[in-house]
A and B are shown apart, each in its own frame.
Chain A
Amino acid sequence: MKEGLTIVVPVKAGVPNITAVRFDPVTHNIVREGVPLMLNPYDRNALEFALRLKDKYGGKVITLSMAPPSGKDFLESTVGMGADEAYLITDRVFAGADTLATSYTVARTIQKLFPNFDLIVFGEETTDSTTAHMPAQVASWLELPYVYYAVDAEVDVKNGMIRVTRYLEDEGVYEVYEYKLPVIISVYKNSNPPRDISLNRKIQARLSGLVKSVTNNELKLDTFCVGLRGSPTIVAKLEEAKPIERKKQIFKGSPEEAAKWLLENLVKEGVIKA
């Protein structure tokens, strides 16, 4: 085992205001070009998770993102938080990718650039697409064990083993998984509150060019596996969400009258026993 850990943290440039976005009229995909991007908030918890492991066991933390060229800026903020280097995977052929094609691009890039990685640490999901697909899909491409909702991990650096504790919110249980490195982890979004982004480090990142761009010239991925062509899913239609018809009866009056009115109606509806 080499010295310290090599931890890759794939991050996403989220569209900050999800209610004010434009869509491509043909592909129905969100238009990212020219939109100011921000780091997906849950990726900061993932980066914190990775940085804590680095603080404890040494090594380096590398962030990486597939995004339009404007993604450089938010990657600089990951360096500002403590990442050692950052990579922007950017090429027109990657545009229009669904989660299968995105995971392919991310997985093969990691294999190419950091073949000796120990850990890939993802955020639980993104706030703009909320699929949580990426960690499992990258695990599938790389044929590696994976575990979601991680809150903590301990590494046995000598033997190359990791113990990951995860929290399953809906069952109220903690589970501990033990694996041989490398593995893939996604971090429970309500854990590992992220440290601040140092403005100094962020500026330093820009001045010393710590964010590097890679295109498909270097990656040489089959163009039928990436972008729109590598995406089996299509958005067939986008429509406004229509709410269910409601009675919309509104009562204004004294609290006594209001309470009486409510109770009568709920009994009438049969949702409270008469």
Chain B
Amino acid sequence: MSTAQQQRICSEWEPINKSEYRGIWVYIEHANGVIKEGSLQLIGKARELAGKLGDADVTAVMLGYNLGDLVKEPIYYGADKVIYIDNPVFSKYIPHVYAEAIVYLARKYKPEIILFAGTKRGRELAPYVANSLRTGITADCTDLDVDPKTRDLDQVRPTYGGNMLAHIRTPTRRPQLASVRPNVFPTPPRDTSRKGEVIREEFNEVIDPRGPGLVEVRSVVKGDELPPVEKSDIVVVAGKGVGGPDGVKLLTELAKELGGTIGGSKKVVDAGWLPSDRQIGQTGKTIRPTLYIGVGVSGAIQHIFGMKESRIIVAINSDPNAPIFQYVDYGVVGDYKDVVTKLLELLRNRKKG
């Protein structure tokens, strides 16, 4: 094959020189002066990957208006550098405008890897950025690694129901993009003594927003006051086996007693016993609490998917052959109502005296 043939690429892709691309970027998502946990976790992972590559640094990329001291935060969590744009354009979030700004920065600085937290907004931005750079992207990776020789990012993602892991690579294009759901990696410690470089970029590209874009934001008042599932160290999860809203109520008491929160399987959410933002699993939230307690949860692979990284896994199920027992540290075979009631009694007695 001649070189000309080898180099024949899609007429809409710019030819690239892979060796011009260096460094790992993490797109930093933030709201109300707080950086999203998922972005901080990626800084930690990026540090590790940069170590393997040898000559790569970790850069946090931020967009916003009146960012102030927030731009220093990524450094405290392990970034070497922060590149940011502070511009009224970003006072409201408009997906294609944000995405175009990231594309603009990536064209200028040529990072070899860009990571996004797989939040709702991250999953919306990342594919547009990848596409505009005519490169590959892998969604919802559960692990990342690099090959120091080829500098290819090994993007691991569960596929086809979670039974298989696919290792995806982008050997011929740069940058390489991936999104990772929050809580797949741990949050690195915050160290305010860390130093790094902070670079302010201007954004003069005029993007036709084709309308005002975001015009209204409404908060939904939540009916329950327990913390969100991805924020809690202890998560008690109700499965279909708890039989109904009363079962969920009993487990909510247990969650409160333990200082944790309540989650549910898909069946419980579909039945309307819990809101959908409490669903654990492939199509719900990924959690990695110190303690997961699944009650009346059968342990379908799509569910296991969202909790298998928990430090200690406990299950209570009346069926000794329930698949979830394959994944537990401690399993109790029994009717959930009896066991949970007794457990609550014990916990309350302990408190009393």
Seen from chain A, the residues whose Cβ lies within 8 Å of a Cβ on chain B are 18-19, 21, 28, 30, 98-100, 103-104, 127-137, 139-141, 144-149, 161, 163, 168-180, 183, 189-190, 222, 224-225, 229-241, 243-244, 246-253, 255-256, 258-263, 265-266, 269, 271-272
Kindly name the residue among B10, B166, B320 whose own CB sees the greatest number of chain A CB atoms within 10 A: B10
User: Which of the residues A132, A137, A173, A224 comes within 8 Å of B8, measured between beta carbons?
Assistant: A224
CA distance A170 to B278 in the complex (A): 9
CA distance A255 to B336 in the complex (A): 9
CA distance A243 to B31 in the complex (A): 35
User: Which of the residues A145, A173, A224, A240 comes within 8 Å of B219, measured between beta carbons?
Assistant: A173
User: Which residues does chain B contribute within 8 Å of A265, judged by CB atoms?
Assistant: 329-330
A-B contact pairs, 14 of them (CB 8 A): A136-B124, A140-B131, A146-B128, A147-B124, A168-B121, A176-B216, A233-B168, A233-B169, A239-B164, A241-B162, A247-B329, A256-B342, A262-B339, A266-B291
Contact between A168 and B120, CB atoms less than 8 A apart: yes
Q: Does B243 belong to the interface (CB within 8 Å)? A: no
Q: How far is the CB of B342 from chain A (nearest CB, A)?
A: 4
User: Which residues does chain B contribute within 8 Å of A252, judged by CB atoms?
Assistant: 320, 332-334
User: Which residues does chain B contribute within 8 Å of A260, judged by CB atoms?
Assistant: 346
Contact between B343 and A271, CB atoms less than 8 A apart: no
Contact between A272 and B291, CB atoms less than 8 A apart: yes
Interface pick from B19-27, B170-178, B192-200:
B170-178
User: Which residues does chain B contribute within 8 Å of A269, judged by CB atoms?
Assistant: 312, 329
User: Which residues does chain A contribute within 8 Å of B345, judged by CB atoms?
Assistant: 259
Interface pick from B44-52, B74-82, B93-101, B244-252:
B93-101
Interface mask (B273-304 → A, CB under 8 Å = 1, otherwise 0): 00011000011010000110000000001001
Contact between B171 and A234, CB atoms less than 8 A apart: yes
Contact between A144 and B138, CB atoms less than 8 A apart: no
Seen from chain B, the residues whose Cβ lies within 8 Å of a Cβ on chain A are 8-13, 31, 93-96, 99, 119-121, 123-128, 130-132, 134-140, 154, 158-173, 209-220, 222, 234, 258, 276-277, 282-283, 285, 290-291, 301, 304, 308-309, 311-314, 320, 325-335, 338-339, 341-343, 345-347
Contact between A140 and B132, CB atoms less than 8 A apart: yes
Nearest B residue to A251, CB-CB: B332
User: Which residues does chain A contribute within 8 Å of B332, judged by CB atoms?
Assistant: 250-252, 258, 261-262
Q: How far is the CB of B149 from chain A (nearest CB, A)?
A: 14
Contact between A132 and B131, CB atoms less than 8 A apart: no
Contact between A232 and B170, CB atoms less than 8 A apart: yes
With contacts A98-B136, A169-B276, A240-B163 taken as known, whether A145 is within 8 angstroms of B168 at the C-beta atoms is no
Q: How far is the CB of B235 from chain A (nearest CB, A)?
A: 11
Q: Is the interface of A mostly helix, strand, loop or mixed?
A: mixed
Q: How far is the CB of B324 from chain A (nearest CB, A)?
A: 11
If A28-B166, A266-B312 are given as contacts, then 13 extra A-B residue pairs at C-beta distance below 8 Å, sorted by A number, are A130-B283, A133-B130, A139-B96, A144-B210, A145-B213, A161-B211, A163-B215, A171-B31, A174-B218, A179-B210, A232-B134, A247-B330, A263-B346
With contacts A170-B119, A224-B9 taken as known, whether A131 is within 8 angstroms of B139 at the C-beta atoms is yes
With contacts A18-B161, A169-B120, A249-B329 taken as known, whether A100 is within 8 angstroms of B131 at the C-beta atoms is yes
Contact between B128 and A175, CB atoms less than 8 A apart: no
CA distance A56 to B9 in the complex (A): 45
Q: How far is the CB of A140 from chain B (nearest CB, A)?
A: 4
